[in-house]
Amino acid sequence: MAKHAILVIDMLNDFVGEKAPLRCPGGETIIPDLQKIFEWVRGREGDDIHLVHIQEAHRKNDADFRVRPLHAVKGTWGSDFIPELYPQEDEYIVQKRRHSGFAHTDLDLYLKEEGIDTVVLTGVWTNVCVRSTATDALANAYKVITLSDGTASKTEEMHEYGLNDLSIFTKVMTVDQYIQAWENDEDPWVGGGDAQNKVK
């Protein structure tokens, strides 16, 4: 079976929760599903599935703030992970300053070192950082899976638009479907993408 990395994108205090300045309300609704997959991965034996936490961590005068409000400055409460989904010591953390988890980070190097060929996308926002990370994953020749109930955006409409775009080149499935595929010794990625150009 392939080796997978579940990328947990920006489940941070500045994006998730009532006090978040760039609150993504949908981010709160996906916490139970992400806790479920965290528990499942952490309870498995072997290292065929990795949890990788992607953390937006900007410098104070980051160029990103020319187009977006100040947020997730490195070392602040806002850039820290929400308590419900805090990384464990042996789980890898990738800090980023751009939308994509691959942009100017060592994510690709880590995945290659670990022999991982499939990335599984979770977190916020579906139509921004999740989609950007998925695009770069494909560009780096990874198979890509998007968990529809493990991702969220500022609005449900944004989320659905994001999933529609992602379905062109990723496998969109639920957390339960993903877990069940592994339990049945099936490759979850089979059938991914839009080989027959049916997405509208």
Q: What CATH number is attached to the domain comprising 175? A: 3.40.50.850
- The whole-number average pLDDT for the span 21-38 is 96
- Does residue 80 form part of some domain? yes
* Number of neighbours of residue 159 by Cβ within 10 angstroms: 22
Percent of the chain with pLDDT over 90: 89
Q: Assess if residue 17 is contained within a domain.
A: yes
For residue 27, report the phi and psi dihedrals to the nearest 5 degrees. Answer: -60, -30
Q: What is the pLDDT of residues 76-129, one digit of tens each?
A: 999 999 999 999 999 999 999 999 999 999 999 999 999 999 999 999 999 999
Could you tell me if residue 61 is inside a domain? yes
Instruction: Provide the number of structural domains found in the chain.
Output: 1
- C-alpha 94/C-alpha 107 separation (Å) is 6
Give me the domain span that covers residue 79.
Answer: 4-184
The pTM assigned to this predicted structure is: 0.96
